[in-house]
Structure 1
Amino acid sequence: MGEEAPRAVTTICRALQEQIEHGLLTSGCKLPSERRLSELFETTRITLREALSQLEAQGLVYREDRRGWFVSPARLAYNPLVTSHFHAMVTEQGRVPATEVLSARLMPATSEVCQLLELPALSSVYQVRRVRRVDGRLVLYVEHYLNPRFFPRILEFDLRRSLTEVYASEYGIFYGRVRFDMVSTALHADAASSLKVAAGSPALRVTRINRDQHGRLIDCDLEYWRHDAIHVSVEVPQTA
């Protein structure tokens, strides 16, 4: 970019940020096309995209492939200490959840899943791949891996439902101790395609390893959240 480009990027960022903060550009609304915005700010598409990329990194706007740019909604509060499922968590915050099943099958467990579920080599697991929306926006790609020993015929059920509810109502299984591992990462191709963003986009990967009320390892989840979709909020009670 030329000498004036960094100044133009700053000007565009400030203008759009001000419009968002004052509610003139509201949560979830679609921005004008890149061509229209570049004309409005009398700049090049390259400079405009640099500005939008900076706002995206701040979590103020987001892009979906083939749909354009949108104003980011408020982040969800995500508390790993609260034993709640996705639909309950979203609904309790006054938002609208939705789940789509991408695939569900019995498959050989990868070495990572064998390790997470403490399974022997060449074990089979149920894999359920889903995407989840908040207020219509794709925010989460998740791969669930279930030990088939505990969930016979689970593929016969409606897997758009909460697995927590399916476990309880169909198998009498409830979550007990849960382990969480969180790490910032880049979206792999399947996750990115499912969330309609570019491969390599930033994300928060949450690995959940779940035991039931009897202490048995029953399943694990590999969650890939859009980087601007949640904030982790934990309050730890004071111990004596």
Structure 2
Amino acid sequence: MLHNGASFCASLSRQKTVTAICQAITGWIEQGELSHNDRLPAERMLSEQFTTTRITLREALGQLEAQGLIYREERRGWFVSPPRIVYNPLTRSHFHAMVREQGRVPATEVLDAGEITTPAPICTHLALPTGSRVYCIRRVRRIDGRAVLYVEHYLNPGYFPAILQEDLTSSLTELYANHYGIHYGKVRFAMLPTTFPLAASQALKLADNSPALFITRINRDQHGRIIDCDLEYWRYDTLHINVEAQ
């Protein structure tokens, strides 16, 4: 009983310390002592400042990360998250337009693009036979220079001949409309909290097991045909989902 009582007291003390650290760092941000994208002091310095262990400190930092207040980058440390982008998945705007409309600066980097044999889940999404060939475009998207989104686009090549020769750093939405006369119609949208897969964390330079928001889109055109599928991995602290349905 004594041992259990001591463990309970130690756990209670640790939780109080975690709460105190969270409140202190939140206060620094709210009072302007730390601004958007500022780096937090090193973990060693924070541990000394709060007179605690690295394990307890990391528990507190993990809670702040889950709230979207801070984020971690591999080998660089912890940073204050910038303001979130308001995102309505029911609108047909595209990434560049959405970001610009909110006074921010968008950019897109193409990691690679080519024709591949479709993985079975993508065949299902695109309503194609198993083993079909599709175009795959992998991109990283940035807001104010910060990489926030890793996305894999899977396109039915029958609708987009020679699209891989186009400027794929631009909006696919505009490319579809301007070069192929294709406009988005209905969209099937699924959202799931998860962690970044290896390819995404490497592309965004994130630490392993960083939290992500995984969005799957299956897009139809104005004629009701399934034309493409997007697999999007967003930084957890990037989006404020705001939907108004009629």
Alignment-derived partner of residue 217 in structure 1: 226
Deviation at 1:16, TM superposition (A): 0.6
Deviation at 1:111, TM superposition (A): 0.6
Are positions 1:134 and 2:120 aligned together? Answer: no
Which secondary structure state, in structure 1, belongs to the residue aligned with residue 200 of structure 2? helix
Alignment-derived partner of residue 15 in structure 2: 6
| CA-to-aligned-CA distance 1:36-60 (integer Å, 9 cap, x gap) | 2223223332222222111111111
Are positions 1:32 and 2:32 aligned together? Answer: no
Deviation at 1:14, TM superposition (A): 1.0
**Conserved? CA contact 2:38–2:79, under 8 Å:** yes
Deviation at 1:135, TM superposition (A): 1.7
| Larger Cα-atom Rg | 2
In structure 2, which of residues 152, 158, 178 is the aligned counterpart of residue 169 of structure 1?
Answer: 178
Give me the identity figure in percent.
62
| Larger helix fraction of residues | 2
Q: Comparing 56-65 with 169-178, which one deviates more in the overlay?
A: 169-178
Which secondary structure state, in structure 2, belongs to the residue aligned with residue 191 of structure 1? helix
Query: What is the rounded CA distance, in whole Å, between the counterparts of 2:179 and 2:244 in structure 1?
Result: 33
Query: What is the rounded CA distance, in whole Å, between the counterparts of 1:69 and 1:186 in structure 2?
Result: 17
Q: Which runs of 5+ in 2 are unaligned?
A: 1-6
Alignment-derived partner of residue 105 in structure 2: 96
TM-score for both structures, normalised by structure 2: 0.90
> Which aligned runs of 4 or more in structure 1 are off by greater than 6 angstroms?
none
| CA-to-aligned-CA distance 1:93-132 (integer Å, 9 cap, x gap) | 1111111111111000111111111111221000001111
Query: What is the rounded CA distance, in whole Å, between the counterparts of 2:151 and 2:208 in structure 1?
Result: 16
Deviation at 1:77, TM superposition (A): 1.1
Which secondary structure state, in structure 2, belongs to the residue aligned with residue 26 of structure 1? coil
- Number of residues of Structure 1 aligned to a counterpart in Structure 2: 237
Corresponding letter in the other structure for 1:236: A
Q: Comparing 101-110 with 222-231, which one deviates more in the overlay?
A: 222-231
Deviation at 1:185, TM superposition (A): 2.1
Query: What is the rounded CA distance, in whole Å, between the counterparts of 1:235 and 1:22 in structure 2?
Result: 32
| CA-to-aligned-CA distance 1:59-116 (integer Å, 9 cap, x gap) | 1111011221110112111101111000111111111111111111100011111111
Q: Which runs of 5+ in 1 are unaligned?
A: none
Q: Comparing 123-132 with 166-175, which one deviates more in the overlay?
A: 166-175
Corresponding letter in the other structure for 2:70: V
Which secondary structure state, in structure 1, belongs to the residue aligned with residue 90 of structure 2? coil
**Conserved? CA contact 2:72–2:207, under 8 Å:** no
1:61-140 maps to which residues of 2 (within 5 A)?
61-140=70-149
Which secondary structure state, in structure 2, belongs to the residue aligned with residue 177 of structure 1? strand
